[in-house]
A and B are shown apart, each in its own frame.
Chain A
Amino acid sequence: AAGVIQSPRHLIKEKRETATLKCYPIPRHDTVYWYQQGPGQDPQFLISFYEKMQSDKGSIPDRFSAQQFSDYHSELNMSSLELGDSALYFCASSLPNGGLPWWGYTFGSGTRLTVV
């Protein structure tokens, strides 16, 4: 079965550089979520999109931005990278959550970003 695809799997960047992470949701899933998981930490919600519009915003730094495209894939753009941005970035997709019930996410395998 198709899963959530994230690219790249690994990324190494230097401080102050930019990075773009991509997420391709499961077909027919039109809701995408981004999470950041630091070393030994729980996943922290960053931002979500529903039907190409931002639907919710969490602890996403101002240096980061994201968007969802017409094919429902999403990109997380990160600028002025800092050492503390080193983390595993997960994307998840779900069926529309505009109404009950909500059945949970399907997560991708993540992009491991290392800032040096």
Chain B
Amino acid sequence: AQSVAQPEDQVNVAEGNPLTVKCTYSVSGNPYLFWYVQYPNRGLQFLLKYITGDNLVKGSYGFEAEFNKSQTSFHLKKPSALVSDSALYFCAVSHTSGGSYIPTFGRGTSLIVHP
């Protein structure tokens, strides 16, 4: 079984400051890891993914995430937050074994960026 934990329901950060949204995962086999963002009344938008290769992954809107195999983490980061980054962020994991790539989503973390 695969699972994702997003330990923070909400993250508050001031505009211009760096932000981190945490995600840890559990899978059998090698993980595929994803971050999605959801704005109010909108669909989930793909931000970035880790499949293989460099542990630091760069994605849309200046976001990046670092894959840490030993800590089974895939934290989302941005060097300088914008008010427009305020949204709900979901981490998702799927795995390479068993033939099914359907991802499991975390509970989501609400990011609030204050002006």
Contacts and interface: CB of A to CB of B under 8 A. Distances in A.
- Secondary structure call for the B interface: loop
Contact of B49 (A42, A48, A56, A104): A104
A100 interface: yes
Interface residues of B, number: 24
Interface stretch (A64-72, A76-84, A107-115): A107-115
Interface string B21-57: 0000000000010101000011111100101100000
Contact of B45 (A33, A100, A107, A112): A107
Contacts of B17: none
B90 interface: yes
Given A103-B49, A104-B34, A4 B108 contact: no
A64 B106 CA distance: 24
Contacts of B106: 42
A-side interface size class: 20 to 34
A97 B49 contact: no
A41 B43 contact: no
Interface in B67-115: 90, 94, 96, 100-108
Interface string A31-50: 00100000001111100100
Contacts, number: 51
A106 B46 contact: yes
Contacts of A92: 43-44
A65 to B, nearest CB: 18
Contact of B46 (A45, A105, A110): A105
B88 to A, nearest CB: 10
Contacts of B46: 104-106
Given A42-B105, A48-B102, A4 B94 contact: no
A51 B105 CA distance: 24
A101 interface: yes
Contacts of B34: 104
Interface of B: 32, 34, 36, 41-46, 49, 51-52, 90, 94, 96, 100-108
Given A92-B44, A107-B43, A109-B42, 10 more contacts: A4-B43, A42-B107, A45-B102, A56-B100, A56-B102, A58-B102, A90-B44, A104-B49, A108-B43, A110-B43
